[in-house]
Structure 1
Amino acid sequence: MAIHRVWVYASAVLLTIICSIFADQTVDPKVGVLFLHVLDRGYYQEGFRSFQETYGIITNTPITFSTNLDDHPDRPRWLRFTQRTAYHDGMLYGTPTAEDIGQRIIEVTAYNRKTFETTSQNIIINVEQPMEFKFLYQVEFFVKNRDVEEVLPLEVQKHFMDRVERIWESSHFSIINITSALDRGGRVPLPIEGRKEGVYINVGSSTPFPSCLEEEARPDELCTDQLEPISCEDIFSPHFIINWCNITL
């Protein structure tokens, strides 16, 4: 009888652990600032029965995700989703506006492409008021040698911002938005090694623009995307190749 009680208790604990893994998760994006939430494949793999039957051994299982409002087939208009392949993590990202303040629930469904199992989780998104700083000065860079999935990770964003700080000479700024060139009408690149979609990165600050950026943004009929910057030191290359003819203030 004692053994039976221990087994029932252990089963209850295991069930609680499995259920708690995919309890609702709450995130709090702010108006006017880039939001990023990573859908980790290893995390969702733990919800598949096949994972539990193999004693919790994480494998390189192909997993894809679908994301939508809990009461609607689409996502909020400001929220995008990207996943390069079934062997990459998914990413929810975007920049909410004042019209988006409030709570919405996103239902995430993970699909195991080997066993056809599914598991799901609700992401509760509470869009909050904008930050204290007002980003009155905004500049948009077009990075030619990156895909959107490559610049969304926080460590890559930090590397980009470190370079912006050297030009702007201010620490009061933030990435406001990141957009794939495909979402701006760009063409899908040919499947040739090194070809990228291109990414627009919008940076905002409470500090006025440095003079070199203002000069770079002046229209020039002779400008081509092969030219070097006129005034700013190109501290982005080779990690981020900027189209200096496509700077927008």
Structure 2
Amino acid sequence: MADKENWAVAITVFLTSLLVGQADIITEAPVGQLFVYELHREVFQREFEPFHTVYEHIYNDPLVFKCNKERFPDLPRWLRFTQRDPYDNGFLYGTPLPEDQGRNIIQIFVTNRRSYVDVIKERLVINVGPAVKQMPYQAEFFLELRDIEKVLPSVVQEDIKSDIKKLWDTEKLEFVNITSALDRGGRVPLPLAGYFEGVYVKLGSDKPFSECMLRTLTPEHERKCAAGGKMPGECNTCFYPINCITWCKTVLFDLSKPIPPARVPTVGSGILEWGGEFNPPDSPPERDFFPDYIITIIIPFVIAVILCLILAYVMCCRREGVVKRNTTTPDVQLYHHHTIQGNFNELRRMAGRDRSTADRPPIFSLSLASDTLI
């Protein structure tokens, strides 16, 4: 009876989680601003826990997230996903452009790597709308001591933003984009402590750049960077050393000035100008290739023939021969040699069949063989 109640509870929990998992998650993403959606492991872990609680087992399962656009194998071009470890949270992040406006349905599959049986499916609906804030002044900074998944949490973003606010001398700052250095051709760091991939953060505001930031546009700044200079002391405002920016990789974007249109090419008549008569170049002088033929073909061939004749003489004319060898060998030594060979063959025949039916070797031959071996 107790087993039936446990199964009923398990089925009820499964159906409830299935219905809950089908509910869509709806969020907004304005054009030109950074969008970050964090996939918390704890939220999905609780959906697996009821099964474990029924059987009095609670696990901290490794969860793997897989994300793709509905009916497509990958994500939209403006959206990226990262998860460093199955025990870490996942992040969907990116900056939509004006041409990306519309509805984006993202399918999220959560796989339990402990059992590889439990899978949860979620749907995230991202409504990309028009730009909310105008940010004509934008700046990109490089954080050398950061990894992409360590910068995406909102708490870390606020710490970075507080330091940039002091540098920019404004309170109106918004993240425009965050990009890993690996996406820009950076090298993969060693899997050791103290090595980071580096992150580019881009922020925007409606207030012009500060005096410290305008120093990046001066020739003196370029000379200092070429000589390995660092950020001036009065402009170094990072509270945490890990959030300090690389001064020489700072880039400013002034979008307040209208961009002049591209120059329209002048349309000509379509008729080429007369350039005179064509005078072909003279033929090159004749060249005698016979010396080259002798060096590359004849000489190597003669050397190969000489080597073949020497080898044939050594192999055919310098051999001793069996008859000559036997004539110079004493008869006793030849007799011992043939006796050892015959005894050896007889022993092999005795080992391959019944000894009682095998021919017994001559005693004289065995004695001679043993004397020879001694």
Map of 1:109 onto structure 2: 109
Q: Which residue of 2 aligns with 1:87?
A: 87
In structure 1, distance between residues paired with 2:227 and 2:46: 47
Distance 1:205 1:58, change over 3 A: farther
Unpaired runs of 5+ residues, structure 2, are 1-7, 253-374
Task: Please identify which structure carries the higher strand content.
Answer: 1
Letter in 2 for 1:187: R
Partner of 2:248: 245
In the other structure, the counterpart of 2:134 is 134
| Amino acid aligned to 1:53 | F
Larger Cα-atom Rg: 2
Quote the Cα distance in structure 2 between the aligned partners of 1:168 and 1:22.
45
Q: Residue 174 of structure 1 corresponds to which residue in structure 2? A: 174
State the 1:83 CA deviation. Answer: 0.4
| Partner amino acid, structure 2, of 1:87 | Y
Query: CA–CA distance in 2 between the matches of 1:22 and 1:163?
Result: 41
1:52 corresponds, among 50, 53, 71, to: 50
Q: RMSD across aligned C-alpha pairs, in angstroms?
A: 2.4
- The one-letter amino acid of 2:209's match is F
- In 1, distance between residues paired with 2:58 and 2:97? 38
* 1:164 Cα offset (Å): 1.1
Between 232-241 and 148-157, the greater mean CA deviation after superposition = 232-241
- By how many angstroms is 1:100 displaced? 0.8
CA distance in 1, matches of 2:24, 2:227: 46
Secondary structure at 1:54's aligned position in 2?
Answer: helix
Residues 1:54 and 1:32: Cα distance change in structure 2 (over 3 Å): same
Code of the residue aligned with 1:123 in structure 2: it is L
Distance across 2 between alignment mates of 1:35 and 1:211: 30
Q: Contact 2:139–2:202 (CA<8 Å) still a contact in 1?
A: yes
Structure with bigger helix share is 2
Partner of 1:230: 232
Distance 1:165 1:141 in 2: 13
TM-score normalised per structure 2: 0.60
The aligned residue for residue 4 of structure 1 is: none
Superposed CA deviations along residues 192-236 of structure 1, whole A, max 9, x for unmatched, are: 211100000001000000111010344514415953213752111
User: Cα distance 1:180–1:13, how it changes in 2: closer, same or farther (>3 A)?
Assistant: closer
Distance 1:208 1:38 in 2: 32
Whole-Å separation in 2 of the counterparts to 1:247 and 1:165:
15
Return the letter of the residue paired with 2:110: A
SS at 2:242's partner residue? Answer: coil
Distance 1:134 1:166 in 2: 21
Amino acid at match of 1:31: V
Gap change, CA 1:241 and 1:171, over 3 Å in 2:
closer
Alignment length (residue pairs) = 240
Aligned 8 A contact 2:177 2:201 in 1: yes
Find the residue that maps to 1:177 and give its secondary structure. Answer: strand
Aligned-residue offset at 1:247:
0.6
Give unmatched runs, 5+ long, in structure 1: 1-7
Identity of aligned residues (%): 38
Instruction: Return closer, same or farther for 1:99/1:144 CA change in 2, 3 Å cut-off.
Output: same
Q: Quote how far apart the aligned CAs of 1:241 are.
A: 2.6
Alignment of 1:1-249 (within 5 A): 15-16=15-16, 19-48=19-48, 51-55=49-53, 59-117=59-117, 118-131=119-132, 133-218=133-218, 220-223=222-225, 227-230=229-232, 232-236=234-238, 237-249=240-252
Q: Is the 8 A contact 1:62 1:112 kept in 2?
A: yes
Distance 2:9 2:235 in 1: 65
The 3 A distance-change label for structure 1 pair 11 and 196 is closer
Query: Contact 1:225 / 1:243 at 8 angstroms: preserved in 2?
Result: no
1:216–1:232 CA contact under 8 A, matched in 2 = no
* Shift in CA distance, 156/108, structure 1 to aligned 2, threshold 3 Å: same
